[in-house]
Structure 1
Amino acid sequence: MSVRSAVNGFFFEPVPLGRVAAMRFLAGLYVWIEWWAYMPFIFGHRFVPGELYQPLFIGRILPLPTPDYGLVTGTLVVMLAAATPMMFGYRPKLFGWILFAAYFEWMVIANSYGKVDHASFGFMTLLLVLCLMPSRATWGDREHLSERVGWGFKLVQIAVVCTYFLSAWAKFRYGGWEWANSGVFTWAIIRRGTVFSDWMLDFPGLLHFAQWGMIAFELLSPVVLLVYRWKKVQYAIVAFFYCFHVAVFAALGISFLPHLVAMACFLPLERVDPREIARKTKARFASRGSGPTAREPEPQVETGP
């Protein structure tokens, strides 16, 4: 196999169109959840004085206006209005571009007040990629394959991996190699620990081991991209990623929900068809409701004496 064919096989692996429909729905659903359940503080920025606004680099380059009540509220309204038709497949490209532009501004507003999150990098990439996907994608479509879809989702997968790998690089950049032997996990548990993690304060050696383990996990995360030919292995690694985030949420209450939504593009969501599920569920309940039919008595024939 030549290098060119290997590269093409990696970046343009055909993916069923059904996965596009599923990812559009998950992306739109997350947008509806985020503003009131996951990161409600963003909407609260409509009351923050403009003097506290410190725009990101991209916000200074464009430049973008200083957020006020009207801008924050209007961005939210446009974002939700565009997410609804996109998630149900109605003119997904048009509303996808509108959603991407609104969410881009939403993220600038969220990260321009002294704290920059990295959990939304993969999700932003997903929203951009969904704008380029075929419009005819429908739930459960496993027959129609597309190299363009494979290319787009591969970009999202790379963004997901970069979220891990560059996180390790940032630790070394700002904390040096001593980060792994520091008390950062101890500080995190003291600050926001739960019943699942408070006991670890009595075992500082275990916390140092966990910090080294996290660095190793982040540096080795690109392996999930290299095993794309062995789907069961790749799904097992992705399952480990999800379990890792469940453990972090249980221990510290930290959730990477947009990152988890973007990571779903690794999964064979084209196998999910809500209409087929609804049909089977309806048929199952109908069969239970009818129950066994009573057997009609056989007619009795009178015989002579």
Structure 2
Amino acid sequence: MTTSSTPSAPASAPAPAASASPVRRALRAGTDWFLAPVPLARVAAFRVLIYAFVVLDVLWIRTSVVPHGYVPDLYRPTWLARAVHLPALTPLQGEILLWSLLAACVAGIAAVVAGRLQRTTGVLVALGFWVWMLNSQGYGYISHDHLALMVAVTVLPTAGLTRLRDHTPSQAAGWALRAIQLAVVATYFGSAVLKWMRSGSPAGWANSAVFVWAIMRRGSPLIRWTLEYPWLLILGQWGLYLIELLSPVVLWLRGRWLYVAISTFLFFHLATFLSLGIHFLPTVVCWAAFLPLEKLPFLRARAPR
């Protein structure tokens, strides 16, 4: 006796995967943008540049730490210095910090060349430079041109081991450079926001006489003639205000347009230095985080892996 079997029902097809929500897609796009890999050689070259500049900075630009030791009563620490209980340094402590920081920078450059101990030397540079700057800024002057540089020494150790001729893509290297790029842009955008807040209106600063005041106070012969043309100074203030306000656009530019934007900011700083004697070198150096440094002739020897 045979039993008839009814054909089994076909297996149901798997339900199509639900499309990711807009929030998840946005988060994924943001993560991909922030962690976009870059060649390790780019970070290696940038490390050498930054550590060499820190030497220049403590010997020529922010040289006030040792002299501050003779007037500790004037020390008014910033909120971060208060949070870590950083006291006023004595002249001897300032000298020790100076030479320790210089040695750490030289060791950091040597570590990039040798391809070892880069995290250790990078952390030493970061700690020394932060203590140096917190003391420097605790005597009544905050130099916002150092924002990107301080971020740079902080995040560079996270990139790990890099070599000058290693073009292997790395997300850690990409994250470090992207953080520095954001700090560069924040320097300008934050300045525009403060201009807006302190003047009380979007156009208050741009229509003020701040350029007249600056030129009368410290203007060189190259710029003093503009005092006879107030409309030209107002136009210049509007131009500066707008490029600062639009500075975040630089983060999404590529190729020729990126180089045009960088050249615009560097030309502004050159003009400011020639006309008012004000340089912005710590930020100018950090603009190199936007550049493909691995394409320099002496960094092309090894092919990507």
Q: TM-score, normalised by structure 2?
A: 0.84
Offset from partner CA, 1:29-66 (integer Å, 9 cap, x none): 1111112322333443233x111011001111111011
Superposed displacement of residue 273, structure 1: 4.8
Offset from partner CA, 1:275-305 (integer Å, 9 cap, x none): 779xxxxxxxxxxxxxxxxxxxxxxxxxxxx
Distance change >3 Å, CA 275–CA 193, structure 1 → 2: same
Whichever residue aligns with residue 86 of structure 1, its letter is G
Which residue of the other structure, out of 48, 69, 91, is the alignment partner of 1:25?
48
| Structure 2 match to 1:76 | 98
Kindly indicate whether the alpha-carbon contact (under 8 Å) linking 1:46 and 1:73 is maintained by their aligned counterparts in 2. Answer: no
Which residue of the other structure, out of 72, 77, 81, is the alignment partner of 1:50?
72
Q: Could you say what secondary structure the match of 2:67 adopts?
A: helix
| Structure 1 match to 2:262 | 238
Q: Which moved more, 1:242-251 or 1:1-10?
A: 1-10
For 1:257 and 1:221, the matched residues in 2 are separated by: 18
Whichever residue aligns with residue 108 of structure 2, its letter is M
- Mapped pair 1:109 → 2:129: no
Kindly indicate whether the alpha-carbon contact (under 8 Å) linking 1:27 and 1:87 is maintained by their aligned counterparts in 2. Answer: no
For 1:235 and 1:5, the matched residues in 2 are separated by: 28
Distance change >3 Å, CA 56–CA 28, structure 1 → 2: same
| Structure 1 match to 2:183 | 159
Q: Could you say what secondary structure the match of 1:181 adopts?
A: coil
For 2:246 and 2:135, the matched residues in 1 are separated by: 32
For 2:174 and 2:212, the matched residues in 1 are separated by: 42
- Mapped pair 1:207 → 2:230: no
Where do 1:86-165 residues align within 5 Å?
A: 86-88=108-110, 89=112, 90-135=116-161, 137-142=162-167, 144-165=168-189
Where do 1:243-282 residues align within 5 Å?
A: 243-274=267-298
For 2:105 and 2:163, the matched residues in 1 are separated by: 17
For 1:4 and 1:276, the matched residues in 2 are separated by: 35
Q: TM-score, normalised by structure 1?
A: 0.84
Q: Which moved more, 1:230-239 or 1:125-134?
A: 230-239
Unaligned stretches of 5+ residues in structure 2? 1-21
Whichever residue aligns with residue 77 of structure 1, its letter is W
Superposed displacement of residue 193, structure 1: 1.0
- Mapped pair 1:13 → 2:39: no
- Seq. identity, %: 35
Kindly indicate whether the alpha-carbon contact (under 8 Å) linking 2:211 and 2:233 is maintained by their aligned counterparts in 1. Answer: yes
| Structure 2 match to 1:170 | 194
For 2:257 and 2:205, the matched residues in 1 are separated by: 31
